[in-house]
Amino acid sequence: MAKLLPFRPRIAVGMGTCGTGNGSEGVYHAFADAIDKRGLDIHLARVGCFGFCAQEPLVNVWLPGRPLVILHRVQSQHVDEILDDVMMGNIPTALALCKIEEWDHITAQVKYGTGYANIPSWRDIPFFKGQKKIVLRNCGLINPDDVEEYIAVGGYQSLYNVLIDNRPDVVIEQIKAAKLRGRGGAGFSTGQKWDFLRKAVAEKKFIICNADEGDPGAYMNRNEIESDPHSLLEGMLIAGFLTGATMGIIYVRAEYPLAVHRLERAIEQAKEYGLLGEDILGRGFNFNIELVEGAGAFVCGEETALINSLEGFAGRPRPRPPFPAQKGLWGFPTNINNVETWYNVAPIIARGPAWFTETGSAKSPGTKVFSLVGKVHNTGLVEMPLGTPLKTFVYDIGEGGVGGRAIKSVQTGGPSGGCIPHEMFDTPVDYESLAQLGSIMGSGGMVVMDEDNCMVDVARYFIEFTNSESCGKCVPCRVGLDKSLRILNRITSGAGRMQHMETLEELSRYIRDSSLCGLGQSAPNPVVSTLKSFAEEYRAHIEDHKCPAGVCGVQPVGETA
């Protein structure tokens, strides 16, 4: 706690990949140099990301007894000014975005202090209003490289309690009662999955964290790991104990070097503190977590392809059944959960299932982190209760389109999701409602599109993506997506025919119904949903050789054929 609330001012720079990309590395070094040169008594720390991407780089300033203040868009030239203010006991109000008086880390509460009547509380900033930070409870506030700060906010307390209690079946019942569902997109009951693994009899059992986040425009998992790696370890440790697994593996994509680095460091520290390895917390529980870097294939987010990849084969899915819980890694029972699922574990144990089901909708309790990106005013990571209507995301949190332009559609769920038109923005965002609209919640990507986006081009882009990421094992996905892409290319270049729309629909149906794995089964969603809601844009391309949004270089037929 002394690190989080020291007896001297604390300045923490948000240094996720996103902050770094906006220059926070330079800001951090400017602070370090200036503090050093001036010999100031200030605690400087690196933290993860608080999620408001549009306002990066974010810097937290805390003076003892006062609220934590988040400064936004801080650049190196502001450093001296900020330090002057802080040493005078002031806060640089001009850069202040909001203040935090106290924070609920779920596993613990932190009271920063009171004051600063003229700075709005974080709850009053439109971007944060309505957000409920369960998964992101520690992100941007604690130093991800320091296990002590994690422990200070109640980290590993849930693990400790579970180990002391030693009643795994009761805890699994609690996870079931909390109705926690897989946050990777499929939404299967996590408690049930763990129960399968617990009941499986085998000499070895594995649990895997799927951190192969690959959807374009989605970066929830990256930020979660970068800002709070220990929560992930704790979730896996708890599941390891409950299910009797002998080893945990985190399959993280190699394109996330910072996440890999922070996880490595977190694993090292957890081992040092007796939280990982042999005889954890002196309770005779042995569990190890290994890190495996993916080789950059989108399809490896599919669980059976992921297992193939871990075994050293090419990432190609296997037919299910047998499900991984029966026959997974090296033929042993295996449980795979998405990064975000693991982050919900410690809070559920800390506060109980009844508390968890208070948030969200009846069928899908809890929150979900979405990456709100695209043509929206406020972009960033948003954690909202499930069941929140789409319009809240776009108009309240996102504060509408950039430059007041009209928003046309939101694409949810990455390349496997669909485009939801403006008229449907009342839809609550949960697993079932989005599936009904021909989209999916997926891992939580949310790309906002305005009148400058061509929906045919959007469909074309996503099919190009899934086509190049298709493993090529089964025929419908391999050849069908190639056909769809060729047709879409023809339409966007002006060589489309009216019957192409019908062929696309037909192809999409085949691909969806007959593909082997989730990639193929959901790949046609962008095409189907745009054909349904934006048919007139297709027609404009085909019949009038015009792209209403002015994106596609449509040319009359003769010239391109």
Chain contacts with another protein (rule: CB under 8 A): 297, 299, 314, 318-319, 321, 467-476, 478-483, 486-487, 503, 506-507, 510, 513-516
CB of 144 to another protein, least distance (A): 34
Closest approach of another protein to the CB of residue 317, in Å: 10
Q: How far is the CB of 277 from another protein (least distance, A)?
A: 32
Q: Closer to another protein by CB, 102 or 502: give it.
A: 502
Comparison of 226 and 469: residue with beta carbon closer to another protein: 469
Q: Toward another protein, which CB reaches closer, 260 or 501?
A: 501
Which DSSP string do the residues of 77-144 spell out, in sequence order? GGHHHHHHHHHTT---GGGEEEEESEEE-SSSEEE-B---TTSPBGGGSTTTTT---STTTTTTTS-T
Q: How far is the C-alpha of 249 from the C-alpha of 269, rounded, in Å?
A: 17
The encoded tokens of residue 522 equal 């959901």
Smallest distance from the beta carbon of 507 to another protein, in angstroms? Answer: 8
Judged by beta carbon, residue 17 or residue 489, the one nearer another protein is 489
Helix and strand numbers, DSSP H then E, in the chain: 24, 17
At closest approach, how far in Å is the CB of 439 from another protein?
A: 18
Least Å distance between CB 514 and another protein? 5
By beta-carbon proximity to another protein, the closer residue of 141 and 516 is: 516
Q: Tokens representing 143?
A: 């130093």
Looking at beta carbons only, is 157 or 521 nearer to another protein? 521
Contact by Cβ (8 Å): 82, 129: no
Nearest CB to another protein, comparing residues 148 and 482: 482
Residue 381 is given by DSSP the state E
Q: Which is nearer to another protein, 71 or 481 (CB)?
A: 481
Q: Element (H or E) spanning 542, and its range?
A: helix 535-543
Greatest CA separation for the chain? 77
DSSP assignment of 22-82, as one string?
A: TTHHHHHHHHHHHHHHHT---EEEEE---S-GGGPSPEEEE-TBS-EEEE-S--GGGHHHH
Smallest distance from another protein to CB 328, Å: 15
* Encoded tokens for 142: 């604690």
How far is 213 from 175, CA to CA, in rounded Å? 24
Evaluate the omega torsion of the peptide bond into residue 322 and state whether it is cis, within 30 degrees of 0: yes
CB of 482 to another protein, least distance (A): 5
User: 335 vs 470, which CB is nearer to another protein?
Assistant: 470
Structure tokens at 77: 């030239």
In the complex with another protein, the residue whose CB is nearer, 363 or 478, is: 478
Q: How many CA atoms lie within 13 A of 317 on its CB side?
A: 25
| CB of 388 or CB of 515, closer to another protein | 515
The helix or strand, by DSSP H or E, that contains position 336, with its residue range, turns out to be strand 334-338
* Closest approach of another protein to the CB of residue 321, in Å: 8
| Minimum distance, C-beta of residue 319 to another protein, in the bound complex (Å) | 4
Closest CA to 210 of 100, 104, 105, 303: 303
Residue 320: CB minimum distance to another protein, A? 9
Considering only CA atoms, which of 251, 255, 415, 263 is closest in space to residue 328? 251
For residue 278, the 8-state DSSP code is: E
